[in-house]
Amino acid sequence: MFNPKEFNPHQQDCIEVLIEKTRRGQIDRRTFLKGMGLMAALPLALRSGVSFAAGDKPLVVVNWGGDAIKAFGKAWTEGFSKATGIPVKIDGSGPTEGAIRTQLSSGRVSWDVVDAESSILQNLGKEGLVQAIDYNVVSKDKVLPGFAYEYGIADYMLSYVIAYDSERFGDKAPKTWADFWDVKTFPGKRTLYKWMNGMLEAALLADGVAPDKLYPLDVARAMKKIEELKPHVLAFWGSGAETQQLLIEGEVSMGAIWNTRAQVITEDSEDRIKWTFDNALLGCSNWGVLKGNPAGTEAAMKFIAYAQDPQSQVELFKMFGNGPANPAAAALIPDDRKHLNCTDPANLPKQIMLSHEWYTDHYAATLEQYLTHISK
């Protein structure tokens, strides 16, 4: 069975979005290269002014970008190294749980900072494979409340939102997960996320569970609710491009999708496909540091602290649509784009935060149940 821990589909989708915008001429080459660099190691703000002694080991930052990040990341990291004196290497091969374990067990650790799921980092941390975040260096005040963990800290935010075909429903727009499940009032096929994040919560909310009563999740009840909708689910999507095709081509009338991809779909459909942050499910990606990282704990923690620079997070938002993790960044976003930011003060109250604690304790086992259930 395919293991979702072996990749990060949301980051891959962000890179696809950036490439698409470049091909359309919406952003220039310089912005494209900058965006690819930010996606690989966004905390390296060139104006940081922090310097490192010559001869320090290069800091290796690992994300999920693949060949595209490795190809374009060099152009960005050279500028950072020139400004700060620290060499930085970007590895886009993906910090999977298995790869991290292999590095530690082999005794040949080559990675320093990784961008990974919070549940993975916490479980690896409990086993002594990931370092605790040094909050004497990294600031808890520069991240949204609830997203600073023992073994990781949010680097950017994303939401699972309800996107819908406005031509199908006229002035009556779906706003709740109960609406999403209501195929009589809102007819048409649906699409849900294949890898479960947010989908159990959506099902329980549709079944009448109050947002503040979601956790611990009643998995059996959620599965039953999903079973109720399954005859109307055309596909359980695994990539942002898939959701775009399903909605643009009119194959589905509604989908639970990433807000980052929803923005692109709205543009491409000339506003036919709309979406809302109402009752969206908010999560994050996280920075973590491997045990015994070659560049040293101090450099790695300072690196993560750079990621908290609000302006660098705004730049990432402009190109990918990811919400800044630093609340101070919201005020720096242009007024005409604030409504697109999942962490804008006006949008946060509309959303429900996914429980980091629940996913840390239950994700792996519950995902097996979910995949088995949707494949029947």
Residue that is written with structure tokens 């891959």 in the block: 12
Residues forming beta bridges with residue 159, ordered by sequence position: 282
pLDDT value of residue 317: 85
pLDDT value of residue 72: 28
pLDDT value of residue 25: 64
**Contact between residue 241 and residue 126 where contact means Cβ atoms under 8 Å apart:** no
| Of 21, 23, 5, residue with least CA distance to 321 | 21
Q: Where do the H-state alpha helices sit in 24-87?
A: 29-41, 66-84
pLDDT value of residue 308: 86
pLDDT value of residue 44: 32
Low-confidence ranges of the chain (pLDDT < 50): 1-7, 41-55, 66-79
pLDDT value of residue 43: 36
Coil/strand/helix, residue 280 = strand
Give the span between the Cα atoms of 234 and 100, in whole angstroms: 36
Residue type present at position 54 = A
Residue that is written with structure tokens 């949301």 in the block: 10
| Of 122, 45, 109, residue with least CA distance to 284 | 122
- Tell me 45's DSSP state: -
**Contact between residue 192 and residue 373 where contact means Cβ atoms under 8 Å apart:** no
**Contact between residue 337 and residue 263 where contact means Cβ atoms under 8 Å apart:** no
Task: Say whether 159-282+356-375 and 4-157+283-345 share the same fold.
Answer: yes
Class of domain 4-157+283-345: alpha beta
pLDDT value of residue 95: 84
Instruction: Report DSSP letters for 112-177, one per residue.
Output: -EEEE-HHHHHHHHHTTSBPPP-TTTS-GGGS-TT-B-SS-EEEEEEEEEEEEEHHHHTT----SH
pLDDT value of residue 12: 72
pLDDT value of residue 53: 40
Q: What is the total residue count of the chain?
A: 376
Domain chopping of the chain, boundaries: 4-157+283-345, 159-282+356-375
Other Cβ atoms closer than 10 A to 262:
28
Please tell me the CATH code under which domain 159-282+356-375 is placed: 3.40.190.10
Q: Regarding beta strands 88-91 and 254-258, do their DSSP bridges make them parallel or antiparallel, or are they unpaired?
A: unpaired
Residues whose CB falls within 8 Å of the CB of residue 22, separated by 6 or more in sequence, listed in order: 29, 32
Q: Pull the structure tokens for residue 126.
A: 């409990």
Per-residue pLDDT of 87-139, as tens digits, reads 778 787 788 888 999 988 888 899 999 989 899 999 999 999 999 999 999 99
pLDDT value of residue 8: 66
**Contact between residue 273 and residue 255 where contact means Cβ atoms under 8 Å apart:** no
